[in-house]
Structure 1
């Protein structure tokens, strides 16, 4: 990866922003330090100047001259100024030839321009001086130049150079490293994504590994979850397609065979009508399979929730009784309905009737003459959850098949000889999930029990049933 690619990464740009921010913060910090040190040093020097001036002013003439001479000759750094002038301004002693112009004789420190007599090459520079008149009328001048401020500024600049510049370089180096590392991870993600787009659906986005997860890991985990779900759905689509092909092949083969016989023209009119009728029946069966699959897919996508309303499930149960009681009597099957008070449900009336009706229809289909079918609505003992209960005295469902009967096209070995598509209970399960009902299969000794339990079903007003 070249530098141009690194420079375009977010990590490098963030590092550059932080480096600039650090540089600006360092400049502000050092400026504040310089300002505070300058103020402190200036106040300290001014205090020393005024104290020296007042101390010298309290001495006699000879002592003043001796101290001025010591002050001048002992100034190895050439920063001190000390002089004594007569009342008329003529110099008596010191390293100044005159009282600097503009210097008030008030004992306070002022900044004026002055030139030392022992350093003529230096010329006049800005000096902090204090002048006061002593008891005999002479004028005493004491001060220091600003060289210490130059030294202080050099120290601060040197500290800034030695500290801030390496820190900025380290920040940029860290930014380049992080950008390179992030780019390498993104390249791995891109390669995985390209393999997925190439059809390798088992491929997953890479994750850094154990330890704290960063935003790239969390994003990869999220997309891996999406890929898992996509792979699962594609597997279901493939399985459903295989099941459709398997279940439609038999009726369509029969239809084709019957139509071929009709095409030969060796049948009389009655045989022809019978063959065409059976062909139409086979096509109806194929259309029923396709229609049921489309309805299941529609229900699984929750496209029918516009028909939901608050209703009393007892009304649905009573309508089912009215519809299927004559069918049960025709088959010589005892059909008993029991209704107990339950809370209202937020449901689609037609879909709920279809689900319960499908369960009752299956029960009547698999129950032999003289058997019994019961339909009950009531609260479950213990928690009061609403339960729709359908039981029969038919062949029942083996325990190992009870988790499979709601799968598409699944048919129990005991009922494979009966006419059907294997989609009825799949449709019931789809409607139940749409309503928040949990379908369960049990044993009726003999026969089968199917329950729709409203544990998480939406109740009237949007509340959930107690579980």
Structure 2
């Protein structure tokens, strides 16, 4: 992984920003420590000097220059750590170990390049004041410790600053490298998927961080895309399989009508059968388009308040003649005032498909129950029968398009009824369950109730 790409990463730039803020904090801390320690040591020196000046004044018999001269001379000989100067009004040195100075009454300091010519290797800090009779008294100390402290603080800061910046850069590089590796994993997975390997997924490192969370979401999206792609391939295959037979029969019927001399009545019958076959094919395509529309969620915009009790009673009334024709029994147990939010037309098709499937696939004298009642989760509607049922291993599969238990396709239908019903239930966020009715099948749909 090349260095320019590493430096251009947002994580490395963020690290540089934090490093800059850390360096600024270091400078501020250094300034505070440098100023506070220097101030403390200078105050210590000034306090000591003031005490020494007080001793000199107390040792003098009076405030005359002669009395101060004797005390300053004695102090110069007895206190080698101090620097003394006593000069008269004319600037003549009367006592001490310093050369003539300009009589400035204040704290004075000679350090670094500003040292006195006679003391080029010594830092001096002291206090000057009037000595009476126009004289001038100065008492100072060696301030080398202050300078050493300054150099020590500066040296420590430079080492600490350098180490902090180095660690920040190394940490930023390591963090950026880790981020780049994770991103490269996502990029490589994307390239593999684009190359045709739809089974590839983004690796997770198990840390549970934001990258793992993002990778999990992307993997879930890829799983969904793969399911849709598999479904699309399956639908394409099923369309080709299911429509090939009726189209072939239609062509054969038309060929026979063309080759054989027939009367008008026979030709009319052939055209009628052909039109019925074409209608069945168009009905299949219409059902596919309707399922796609439902699954897209576009119909949610038309959701309104639906009186489900009245809707189910209507469906039972419409299908009652079909049950009577097959000597079957339709039992109704529909609670009153059941209401949901949804698309009335789609809900009608959902429950009509379930009732129609029950009567179509059950033998004569079968019993079918249409039960609807309120529940904690909403409104539950169940259609149960005592017919042949659906094997447990096929209950999920029959919800796919064109899947039928009658593999020979000898019975009417296109295998889209349950697919449409399941799609409508999903659109209404309903809970769909297919269970064994022992004997027969029970399909229950629980739709969220209307919020009151």
**TM-score, normalized by length of structure 2?**
0.85
Shift in Å at residue 393 of structure 1? 4.6
In structure 2, C-alpha distance between the alignment counterparts of 1:249 and 1:66, rounded to whole Å: 128
- C-alpha deviation, 1:389, in angstroms: 3.0
Residue number in structure 2 paired with 1:66: 74
What is the match of residue 358 of structure 1?
A: 353
Q: Secondary structure at the match of 1:200?
A: coil
* Structure 1 unaligned blocks of 5 or more: 104-108
Aligned mates of 1:118, 1:407 — CA distance in 2: 101
2:64 corresponds in structure 1 to none
Instruction: Tell me, yes or no, if the aligned pair for 2:104 and 2:129 is still in contact at 8 Å.
Output: no
Displacement after TM superposition at 1:36 (Å): 0.4
Q: 1:451 aligns with which of 441, 444, 448?
A: 444
After TM superposition, give the deviation of residue 386 of structure 1 in Å: 2.9
Name the structure 1 match of 2:17. 17
Deviation (angstroms), 1:35: 0.6
Separation in structure 1 between the aligned mates of residue 363 and residue 311 of structure 2, nearest angstrom: 26
SS of the residue aligned with 1:58?
helix
Matches within 5 A, 1:150-189: 150-189=147-186
Unaligned runs of 5+ in 2: 61-66
Report the Cα offset of residue 118 of structure 1: 9.5
Distance in structure 2 (CA, Å) of the matches to 1:290 and 1:47: 103
State the distance in 2 between where 1:113 and 1:440 align: 96
- The answer for the alignment partner of 1:81 in structure 2 is 83
Instruction: Give the whole-Å Cα distance in 2 for the aligned partners of 1:126 and 1:215.
Output: 62
Match of 1:26 in 2: 26
Structure 1 position 147, deviation (Å): 4.9
**Stretch deviating more after TM superposition (182-191 or 163-172):** 182-191
Aligned residues: 442
1:432-451 mapped onto 2 (5 Å cutoff): 432-444=425-437, 447-451=440-444
SS at 1:310 equivalent: strand
Q: Contact conserved, 1:95 with 1:118, CA < 8 A, in 2?
A: no
SS at structure 2 position matched to 1:304: helix
Tell me the CA shift for residue 421 of structure 1.
1.0
In 1: Cα distance, 2:224 partner to 2:294 partner: 19
Which structure shows the higher helix fraction? 2
Aligned to 1:91: 93
On the 8 A contact 1:441/1:450 being kept in 2, the answer is yes
TM-score by length of 1: 0.83
Partner of 1:106: none
Rounded to whole Å, the distance in 1 between the matches of 2:162 and 2:437 is 84
Give 3-state SS (helix, strand or coil) of 1:377's partner: strand
* Partner residue, 1:44: 44
Q: 2:187 aligns with which of 187, 190, 195?
A: 190
Residues 87, 94 of structure 2: 8 Å contact kept: yes
In structure 2, what is the Cα distance between the partners aligned to 1:16 and 1:370?
A: 82
- Report the CA distance shift for 1:98/1:441 in structure 2 as closer, same or farther (over 3 A): closer
1:167-195: CA deviations, max 9, x gaps?
A: 32332233334334443443343232212
CA contact (8 A) 1:68 1:83 kept: no
